[in-house]
């Protein structure tokens, strides 16, 4: 099992450009999450999806859109990137049942110039 995978690992964008961060999990988990991590700010929830076909806003959803393509995949889109979106982005998944064990992907390090 690969667990949670994310692509790309690194990305540099110019202000105004768009891009999609990809996330996939092979653990048959119901719930998937996107977090961003900035120094001293911990992990802040952007969007989450409790099941295929559903998505909900987290703490910091502005400037982002998501798609739960199927049970395995959950993508995060930046339509018009801004320097304030420079961050490390983590995707995570959990079964949604029993103890809250979240499994994280390796992260995408995004810089917006």
Partner 1 sequence: GQSLEQPSEVTAVEGAIVQINCTYQTSGFYGLSWYQQHDGGAPTFLSYNALDGLEETGRFSSFLSRSDSYGYLLLQELQMKDSASYFCAVRDRKGDDKIIFGKGTRLHILP
Among 58, 63, 71, 75, binds partner 1 (CB under 8 A): 58
Considering the complex, state which of residue 8 and residue 16 has its C-beta at the smaller distance from partner 1. 8
- Give residue for tokens 């304030």: 84
* Interior/surface letters 72-105, b for 16+ CB within 10 angstroms, e for the rest: bbbbbebeebeeebbbebbbbbbeeeeeeebeeb
Provide the token pair at 105: 């992907």
Considering the complex, state which of residue 17 and residue 103 has its C-beta at the smaller distance from partner 1. 103
Residue 108 touching partner 1 (CB under 8 A): no
Q: How many residues form the binding site for partner 1 (CB under 8 A)?
A: 28
Distances, alpha carbon 21 to alpha carbons 6, 28, 110, in Å:
7, 20, 10
Considering the complex, state which of residue 14 and residue 97 has its C-beta at the smaller distance from partner 1. 97
Residue 35 touching partner 1 (CB under 8 A): yes
Considering the complex, state which of residue 14 and residue 40 has its C-beta at the smaller distance from partner 1. 40
Find the DSSP H helices in the chain.
Answer: none
Binding site for partner 1 (CB under 8 A): 30-31, 33, 35, 40-45, 48, 50, 56, 58-59, 90, 92, 94, 96, 99-107
């Amino acid at each position: 099992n690969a667990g949670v995978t994310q692509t790309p690992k690194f990305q540099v964008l110019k202000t105004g450009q768009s891009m999609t961060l990809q996330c996939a999990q092979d653990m048959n988990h119901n719930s998937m999450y996107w977090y961003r991590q900035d120094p001293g700010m911990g992990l802040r929830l952007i969007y989450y999806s409790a099941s295929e076909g559903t998505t909900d806003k987290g703490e910091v959803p502005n400037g982002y859109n998501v798609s739960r393509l199927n049970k395995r995949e959950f993508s995060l889109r930046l339509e018009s990137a801004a320097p304030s979106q420079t961050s490390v982005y983590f995707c995570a998944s959990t079964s949604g049942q029993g103890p809250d064990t979240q499994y994280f992907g390796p992260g995408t390090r995004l810089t917006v110039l």
